[in-house]
Structure 1
């Protein structure tokens, strides 16, 4: 009878790597979310971050960028507007549309969440990874970005 060695086993298959990566990224996202808990949902925060990054946009533009239905974006924008995080203004060239923009309160929330997330990841890296592991992770970031790009 043979026994299997304990501890993590190397996995060479691309599907196995993908599964492990998805699990690890999901766990890390949950850690970051927990550090930045608040009354804004993930979909709402995604819209706020997009507006912060890309500037004012129509609901249709946001729906395309977020890859969700326009009705969902409209509901999200309505709830963000009710909380004072976004405002709507007439489109400068198309009177049928409205532009959605961040308010100062919305910008502040994005900044707070971003800093909390960065802080938590930095804390985890400093506490759990050696200097060499941190270097390896830094080298992997561009690869992860390429996987995430459209």
Structure 2
């Protein structure tokens, strides 16, 4: 980590907002880069995560959640299926539809990615002082509150 100078000064919300958003974006990007070696793309990983969180979705619902066009999602799902990370089952009420869900293997891949990302962040946090980690713990609580608003 680099040397940081902490100064106590009041910052108006309009000035803090872009600073905070930029810092969160950069940290999120860096955490996403900390991943195990593998050939899953960011789009594939995102779709698999969405399926894991939702439990199961139709291809159309998944493309809406991921904000991509259905033909793009078809390609993403095909790659995930090839790897055995996603399975299709018939829709219970609409024979023209299918339901997509993460497989046990898909969930295991997500857990592996999460462990790698958490380890990278833990390594970075270990380089901070106890006071800095406490500040970040408090900031995490505040950010959770903002996210719930």
TM-score of the pair, normalised by structure 2: 0.79
**Residue segments in structure 1 that go unaligned for 5+ positions in a row:** 1-5
- Decide whether aligned partners of structure 1 residues 120 and 20 sit closer, same or farther in structure 2, where only a CA change above 3 A counts: same
1:8-62 Cα offsets, whole Å, 9 max, x none, are: 8968243442332233223322332332043111121111112222211111221
1:28 counterpart residue number:
27
2:70 counterpart residue number:
70
Counterpart CA distance in 2 for 1:147 and 1:86 is 33
SS of structure 1 residue aligned to 2:57? coil
Counterpart CA distance in 1 for 2:141 and 2:72 is 31
Give 4+ residue runs of structure 1 displaced > 3 Å after superposition.
6-11, 13-16, 145-150
1:96-148 Cα offsets, whole Å, 9 max, x none, are: 11111112221111010011111111111111x22222222222224334555
**Residue segments in structure 2 that go unaligned for 5+ positions in a row:** none
Counterpart CA distance in 2 for 1:25 and 1:92 is 41
Larger relative contact order (CA 8 Å, sep ≥ 6): 2
Instruction: Name whichever of 35-44 and 86-95 sits farther off.
Output: 35-44
Counterpart CA distance in 2 for 1:72 and 1:116 is 28
Counterpart CA distance in 2 for 1:18 and 1:74 is 37
Tell me the matched-pair count.
144
Describe how 1:133-144 pairs up with structure 2 within 5 A: 133-144=132-143
Counterpart CA distance in 2 for 1:77 and 1:103 is 12
Counterpart CA distance in 2 for 1:16 and 1:40 is 38
